[in-house]
Amino acid sequence: MAAEKEETLVEHIEALRSVLIKSLSALAVGILPMFAVAPYIMDALIKIMMPDNDIRLNFFAPLEVFMLQIKMALVLDILVCFPYIAKQVWNFILPALYDHERHFIKSIVLSSSCLFIAGVLFCLFVILPWIMRFGLSFASDHIQAVFGIGNIVSMALWLSVIFGIMFQFPLVCYALICADIVAYETMTSKRAYVVVGILILSGLLTPPDVISQLMMTIPTYGLFEVGLFLARKHMKN
């Protein structure tokens, strides 16, 4: 019996090792083509953020743009390889799940991916252009805007990831209520605490201005209400 358990443990460790090797290999293979397309993605990102403004971005160190392209390539590599990596992880945990657990996790993973993409697109096409227009509104004859490409691209990448994560709110609420971890009545009665929590998170994760914080707080709270609505419908069925 002990030998069988040891053999099973070794098989699990070997399977996990295989998942890690395949995932890292995919990332290693993908990094070069992603580095090749990174400059074009960066140009497209800048055009999305500043569609109506003829502004040239500046860099202040010889290798600043090169390092930004590496950072962009790493992000793109992870995004492109994520489906393959997720499939490897899914194949690893699949044998240990019951049928209803497999169905639930599949739906959660699909919904989470769609919500993350929606959050990134909302940030790119709504939030970031608005932040740029708001910042440029302070320019005058005596005050000219000079933007560094490092700050702009880093802010875009950071906020895109943050909005993708914050858009998971309805899924988290739905899962907590449907799994009986938190009662629906408890969740609805704590709306004020949820608002305060979202405001605190927005203050920590967004640029230090009230407008950016509100631009994250309002849609996030709206998604929280969506999660409550979906949970209520599930409870009625």
**For residue 3, what are its two tokens?**
């030998």
pLDDT of residue 172: 80
- Structural domain boundaries, residue 231: 168-237
6 and 85 in a single domain? The answer is: yes
13 & 89 share domain: yes
Q: Do 182 and 96 lie in a common domain?
A: no
Q: What is the gyration radius of the CA atoms in the chain, in angstroms?
A: 22
Domain boundary among 113, 141, 167: 167
Residues 110 and 174 in one domain: no
Q: Residues 195, 213: contact at Cβ < 8 Å? A: no
d(CA 198, CA 228): 16
Helix (H, G, I), strand (E, B) or coil at 58: strand
**Six-digit token string for 120:** 């990134």
CA 204 to mean position of chain CA atoms: 16
Is the alpha carbon torsion for 159, 221, 133, 139 positive or negative? negative
Q: Which two tokens stand for residue 236?
A: 């009625």
Tens digits of pLDDT across the chain (237 residues): 444 455 477 777 888 888 899 989 999 999 999 999 999 988 888 888 876 666 778 888 888 889 989 988 998 898 888 878 877 877 777 776 667 666 766 777 777 778 888 888 888 888 888 888 877 788 787 888 788 888 888 888 888 888 888 888 888 887 777 777 777 788 888 788 888 888 888 777 776 667 777 878 888 888 888 888 877 876 666
Does 173 lie in the same domain as 201?
Answer: yes
* 198 and 235 inside one domain: yes
Both 33 and 77 in one domain: the answer is: yes
Looking at residue 42, its amino acid is M
* Predicted pLDDT of residue 128: 85
Q: 146-160 b/e with 16+ CB inside 10 Å = b?
A: ebebbebbebbbebb
> Which parts of the chain are beta strand (E)?
none
Q: Are residues 86 and 176 in the same domain?
A: no
Contacts 24+ apart (CB under 8 A), 118-122: 118/167, 119/160, 119/163, 119/164, 119/165, 119/166, 119/167, 119/168, 120/160, 120/161, 120/163, 120/164, 122/163, 122/167, 122/219
In the chain, the number of structural domains is 2
Distance of CA 42 to the CA centre of its chain: 18
Residues 24 and 120 in one domain: yes
Under 8 Å CB-to-CB from 110, ≥6 apart: which residues?
Answer: none
Asked if 47 and 129 sit in the same domain, the reply is yes
Closest C-alpha to 78, from 28, 44, 39, 20: 28
Q: What does the alpha-carbon distance between residue 204 and residue 98 come to, in Å, rounded to a whole number?
A: 39
Task: Choose the final residue of a domain: 167, 186, 202.
Answer: 167
47 and 12 inside one domain: yes
pLDDT reported for residue 24: 92
Amino acid 194 reads: V
Same-domain check for residues 198 and 213 = yes
pTM: 0.74
Picking from 167, 185, 218, the residue at the C-terminal end of a domain is 167
pLDDT in the model for residue 36: 93
